Amino acid sequence: MDRDDPLDFLSDTSESEFREILTGFKQLQDQNNDSPMDHPAELKEETTPPGHSEVEQQRSDSPVPSCLSMSSDMSMEHPPELKEGTVSPGHSEVEQQRSDSPVPSCLSMSSDMSMEHPPELKEGTVSPGHRYESAFPKEEEDISEEFKSCLKTKYRRLYEGIPKQGCPSLLSEVYTELYIIQGGDEVSHQHEIGQNETASERAVTKDTLVKYNDIFKPLSGQDKTIRIVLTTGVAGIGKTVSVQKFVQDWTEGMANQHIHFIFHFPFRELNLMKDQKYSLVELLHCYFAETKRLKSFRKEYEVLFIFDGLDECQLPLDFQNNFRVSDVTKPTSVDVLLTNLISGNLLPSALIWITSRPAAASQIPPKYIDQITEIRGFNDSQKETYFRKRIGNEDLASRIISHLKFSRSLYIMCHIPFFCWISATVLEQMFAEEGEGEVPKTLTEMYTHFLLTQTNVREEKYGERTEPNKDFIFRLGRLAFQQLVNGNQIFYEEDLRECGIDVRQASVYSGLCTQLFREVIGLQQKKVFSFVHLSIQEHLAALYAHMSFVNNNTNVLHQVTKLESPIKGTAMVELHKSAVDRALQSKNGHLDLFLRFLLGLSLESSQTLLQSLLRQTGSSSLSKEKTIKYIKKRIEETSCPEKCINLFHCLNELNDHTLVEEIKCFMSTGYLAKNLSVSQWSAVAFVLLTSEVELGMFDLKKYTDSVSDASYVTLLLLRLLPVVRASSAAKLRYCSITKEGYEALASVLNSTFSNLRELDLGDNEYLLDSGIKSLYAGLESPHCKLEKLMLNNCHLTEKSCSALSAVLGLDSSCLTELDLSENNLLDPGVTLICAGLRSPQCKLKILRLRCCNMTEKSCEALASSFCSDYTCLKELNLNDNNLLDSGVKLLSAGLENHRCKLEKLKLRNSGLTVKGCETLAIVLNSACSQLKELDLSGNDLQDSGVEELSAGLASPHCKLETLRLRSCNFTERSCTHLVSALTSFSSRLKELNLSGNELRDPGVRTLCAGLESPHCHLKTLGLENCGITEEGCIALATALRSNPSHLRELTLKEKHLGYLGKKNLSALLEDPNNKLEKLRFD
């Protein structure tokens, strides 16, 4: 390096010193401050490292930042027209009229900026004028603020149309908050559209919502530093929009002011540098020319790298074999730079944000990811907000919303912001121009109308009709088809030439289809091409296949390789069969939407729309019926439930609803025939998934009542599996499920698209340890969000406890409630469960071990878990185990520990006596005890035991609010001690159950004295089968009437209460001055 170079000192700079360099940004060039597209400045010859090709990239004329225009998700951000008076404070008003093209060009080059965002829903957490108060010298502050000012200019606007012709809109005015949750990086075997169709029907759950500005903040309960965040979401969902808004808020001082510099790298641009070598310093020079004149540096500066669009990455990202680099001045491949940045070898304290579609997320090893977030798009209320902001005309917006709601499949698709934009573009024009044809009701019709709108095929209302460029659309479709089959969404000049597209005329093509196909000029002037969204590519690919058949009698789906010629002379149904088979064979569902479009294009309505592109043919009704018949046959044969659901969407595109209507008829009667066919059960799943009714609890028994055949029940479960995945809770009690069924449930738990939070498998005698082994694959998955798991009476042993204990110890485990009651776990099994409870990662709050054949030996292990620093356990059910007084003695050691958080303890039928009561009284008297609920029913406590307990109840340290002493073999003598506790100044007892004890009328009269006390806070009292007569009832009525007590609920199930006794008590319910609300005699 020439010693005259101002960055010459970097050759001796350590990695830690590099962080300090970032404060010395040069004064930014004034002539480009107003341009939102700063391409990297030209690298001068003297700064080019030996062996490197010189980068002679000139600053682009486009006002759009290159880091946005080529990123993967900025595909279609479509802002509404800015109304007068809507400009935010501090922003200059944009006084341009709405362009004919509703797509902002700077965003139209990426796949997720695919929709228009209504005005931002303000958080109100930071005042707009707030700025980070720096402790650095003023000169450095000025440099930092000037750099922010440049980024603010780049990121503040969204553009409609192509960059040089678009109408800019202020991002702050059009941004709509997206639904972002924690988690979500699964590679699915289902098309992304299908994933979102299911996700949009999810019930309201306890998803952990994450605001885009808070992604680097630990979630509630997390105690870790967040350095690397991976944000996933399907194409068009708004990933890059969120990135842009994050940067904009940072530049305006609204959030994340601890970050000093943000560097945004789209993978689409990084791909163009994959064959060259750069140091990290040189890479920054290439993208951010301002960094070339760094002069001073500090350690304290914090940097954020944003790598946008991992799904478009063509770099190997070989984390395992790439060599280690820690020197920021050492030239290497961009791939090696990225893997070392992510793995922490290079700038280990730098923050990193990666965005990706779900299918590509696995390229980053999970061990490097500190937090995963998922963008779910719009919920129903956000859909409506979007259309009302996008349309502007309230009546027109309402008509559009009503139409979409009526066409349920379309409304579900509006979960994706990109589809919202397409729908608004098409329907706004159609509704505004009355008599413009039938309004689209299917996905194919909507996309076909959009295609015609964008290619100017339809006759304009106030203009002349222009004929379509038929050959161009055909060649464009061929490109779409070939690249779709190969799994590509970005293309290069050679790909266009192969399809007969003249690269020199790319700008002309882009002008013809401004919102379909786009050209992006990257670094070193290399051109990159793509469709604005994957679904546009799929539609054009289907149109190409359809045109090839109709115009040329060619079935392009029979082209297995490039050398094989397409088959000619086949019938339309053969084309459709080929497409159905190819889609079913696809492992990742990448042809699912293509299939829907292809089938929909065969309808007469589509033929009419496309008459300028297609050779006219006769009626295709016979071919349509044959296709429908074939699809129904494949539904019967297909084992994958997601594939079956897509085939039902295909039937919908063909306007065939026979199966669905048949099932709706069955369901309306509340009766489903036991002998439904496989395809009919798939129809049940489709109906449930597309229903407006929110999916909450799914109860398999509702569909399998009186069916005992395990194979048939399992078949039903498999067909209804998508419904299980979309439901918040699944009840599968008393269902004979085979191993295959449990493996299928494991796949649901392993799915990031699963909504399941509660799974009840109780009373399945054939679950056994083998079933737990099958479920373990799902329970251990980092995608598993299950919070409640019921496994009572499933014939489990200690073998299952080992697996469940391991699950409790997983950092990813969300389990907070586990029921293992009525299983033969024995002491060894319970000990294993306790090992999981002691894990720092365990989040379990409720554990039920009723009737597990455990003894006092298990109590020591349980007490140890109470004392753990990490214990979360608040409720423990040990009913019906022979623990004895000695077991309770062992438990008390944990209950008295200051770390113990247990609030509810159930010890019914545990073999306790007065000695056990003595121990528990000491616990109640302990200041450390958190017990609020105690159930000692069914133990032989007798009066002496109740006396001991009452002493604990009267303690000022006692926090007990609920005490159940049902059938404990005590008499009226105990009532005196209990009243003493109830009337103590510190008493907190609100619920007391004394049923099944011989209290008789004298005991009740004693209790009445307590009820009349102003210190008594009892709200619920149970006195069933206590030998009470009419006399006792009258005493109770008098006590409750003479003093307005707190009692709300009273239970008196006796045979001899008498007419007057019942009458006196019942009168209390009519007394407006009395608080009694519930009275039970039966």
The model's pLDDT over 632-686, given as tens digits with 9 standing for 90+, comes to 999 989 888 888 989 999 999 999 999 888 888 877 776 666 678 888 888 888 8
Task: Name every residue whose Cβ is closer than 8 Å to that of residue 190 and which is 6 or more positions away in sequence.
Answer: 198, 588, 589, 592, 642, 646, 753
155-159, 304-308, 586-590, 831-835: least confident range: 155-159
Categorize the per-residue pLDDT at 129 as very low, low, confident or very high, splitting at 50, 70 and 90. very low
Which has the higher per-residue pLDDT, 6 or 975? 975
Task: Name every residue whose Cβ is closer than 8 Å to that of residue 693 and which is 6 or more positions away in sequence.
Answer: none
- How far is the CA of 527 from the CAs of 491, 503, 705, in angstroms? 9, 9, 62
Mean pLDDT over 67-77 rounds to: 35
Q: Which tens digit of pLDDT belongs to each residue from 811-847?
A: 889 999 999 999 999 999 999 999 999 999 999 999 9
Determine the pLDDT at residue 301: 72
DSSP state of 299: S
Q: Which tens digit of pLDDT belongs to each residue from 486-507?
A: 888 888 888 888 888 876 655 5
Determine the pLDDT at residue 104: 32
Highest mean pLDDT among 19-33, 460-474, 601-615: 601-615
Other Cβ atoms closer than 10 A to 161: 20
**Tokens matching residue 7:** 């960055």
Task: Name every residue whose Cβ is closer than 8 Å to that of residue 263 and which is 6 or more positions away in sequence.
Answer: 284, 287, 288, 303, 304, 305, 306
DSSP state of 998: B
259-268, 434-443, 746-755, 948-957: least confident range: 434-443
- Position 151: which residue type? L
113-127, 718-732, 1018-1032: least confident range: 113-127
1038 burial (CB, 10 Å; 0-12 / 13-18 / 19+) is: middle
The sign one gets for the Cα dihedral 166, 167, 172, 175 is negative
Categorize the per-residue pLDDT at 464 as very low, low, confident or very high, splitting at 50, 70 and 90. very low
Contact 787, 817 (CB under 8 A): yes
Categorize the per-residue pLDDT at 38 as very low, low, confident or very high, splitting at 50, 70 and 90. very low
Determine the pLDDT at residue 590: 84
Calculate the dihedral angle through the C-alpha atoms of 649, 654, 660, 665, rounding to the nearest 10 degrees.
150
**Tokens matching residue 681:** 């059960």
What percentage of the chain has pLDDT greater than the value 70?
74
Residue 363 and residue 355: Cα distance in Å, rounded?
12
Contacts by residues 339-342 (CB-CB < 8 Å, ≥ 24 positions apart): 341/280, 341/305, 342/228, 342/368
CA 610, distance to chain mean position in Å, is: 39
Determine the pLDDT at residue 796: 95
Judged against a pLDDT cut of 60, whether residue 773 lies above it is answered with: yes
Which has the higher per-residue pLDDT, 913 or 114? 913
Which has the higher per-residue pLDDT, 142 or 933? 933
Q: Which tens digit of pLDDT belongs to each residue from 875-888?
A: 999 999 999 999 99
Determine the pLDDT at residue 860: 93
Determine the pLDDT at residue 261: 84
**Tokens matching residue 869:** 């620093």
- Average confidence score pLDDT of the chain: 78
Mean pLDDT over 344-361 rounds to: 88
Comparing CA positions, the residue from 147, 145, 73 lying closest to residue 353 is: 73
Pairing between β-strand 527-531 and β-strand 517-521 as defined by DSSP bridges: antiparallel
Judged against a pLDDT cut of 70, whether residue 115 lies above it is answered with: no
Number of helices followed by number of strands (H, E) in the chain: 40, 29
Calculate the dihedral angle through the C-alpha atoms of 800, 801, 803, 806, rounding to the nearest 10 degrees.
170
Longest dimension (CA), the chain: 109
Determine the pLDDT at residue 29: 34
Mean pLDDT over 895-918 rounds to: 95
Categorize the per-residue pLDDT at 570 as very low, low, confident or very high, splitting at 50, 70 and 90. low
Judged against a pLDDT cut of 80, whether residue 264 lies above it is answered with: yes
Mean pLDDT over 1062-1078 rounds to: 88
Mean pLDDT over 898-905 rounds to: 94
Residue 830 — φ and ψ, nearest 5°? -65, -40
Judged against a pLDDT cut of 50, whether residue 110 lies above it is answered with: no
Contact 728, 696 (CB under 8 A): yes
Q: How many Cα atoms sit within 13 Å of 210 on the Cβ side?
A: 27
Residue 913 — φ and ψ, nearest 5°? -135, -165
Determine the pLDDT at residue 875: 96
Residue 667 and residue 1076: Cα distance in Å, rounded?
42
Contact 919, 887 (CB under 8 A): no
**Tokens matching residue 17:** 């010193």
Mean pLDDT over 927-952 rounds to: 95
- Position 751: which residue type? S
Determine the pLDDT at residue 968: 96
Determine the pLDDT at residue 275: 83
Q: Is this prediction's pTM over 0.75?
A: no
Q: Which residue has the tokens 């560097």?
A: 263
Strand, helix or coil at 529? Answer: strand
Task: Name every residue whose Cβ is closer than 8 Å to that of residue 133 and which is 6 or more positions away in sequence.
Answer: none
Q: Which residue has the tokens 């480009």?
A: 32
- Position 813: which residue type? S
Task: Name every residue whose Cβ is closer than 8 Å to that of residue 1020 and which is 6 or more positions away in sequence.
Answer: 990, 991, 992, 993, 1047, 1048, 1049, 1050
**Tokens matching residue 68:** 């946005």
Cα 305–282–287 angle (5° rounding)?
55
